[in-house]
Amino acid sequence: MSPTWSSLTVGDQLPERQFPIQRADLIKYAGASLDFNLIHWNERVALEVGLPNVVAHGMLTMAKAVQVVTEWTGDPGCIIEYGCRFTRPVVVPDNSAGALLFVTGSVTALNDDGTVQVTLTATCDGATVLGKAQVLVRLPRQ
């Protein structure tokens, strides 16, 4: 059942999700977004510019993280606003495991206008990859 504004309290936790990200996902995202920056698929170039390896697109990381909210609400149209800062890249090794993005969320505000603020935490290899990740959603009151 989808949450309603009146059913929530500040501190409620959203279900945690884990998102595997592999090199093939980066190629698919590059094609969809037209972001063919070499650091997202060419290990030699990524290393030359000082990265530890190929890294996921920031917007792909951001999209995976907000999926926790869209699955929780059951309606991506509930999202009014979403913003974050990219604090560290998601490094995607060239192996069968790739990278694993962990995302948790919690209700941090219930606003009088019927909106709910959700704060997300996104980590990979124990490091935070998105900072100040906040999502504003409008849910039914009842």
User: Where are the chain's structural domains?
Assistant: 5-21+56-138
Confidence at residue 129, expressed as pLDDT on a 0 to 100 scale: 98
Contact residues for 43 (Cβ-Cβ < 8 A; gap 6+): 53, 54, 94
Confidence at residue 32, expressed as pLDDT on a 0 to 100 scale: 96
**Structural class in CATH, domain 5-21+56-138:** alpha beta
- Give the pLDDT confidence of 4-31 residue by residue, as tens digits: 999 999 999 999 999 999 999 999 999 9
Between the alpha carbon of residue 79 and those of residues 41, 47, 106, 119, 139, the distances in Å are 31, 37, 15, 13, 9
Residues above pLDDT 90, as percent of the chain:
97
Write out the two tokens for 126.
Answer: 């124990």
Q: Which residue has the tokens 């409008």?
A: 138
CB 105 within 8 A of CB 69: yes
56/95 Cα distance (integer angstroms): 14
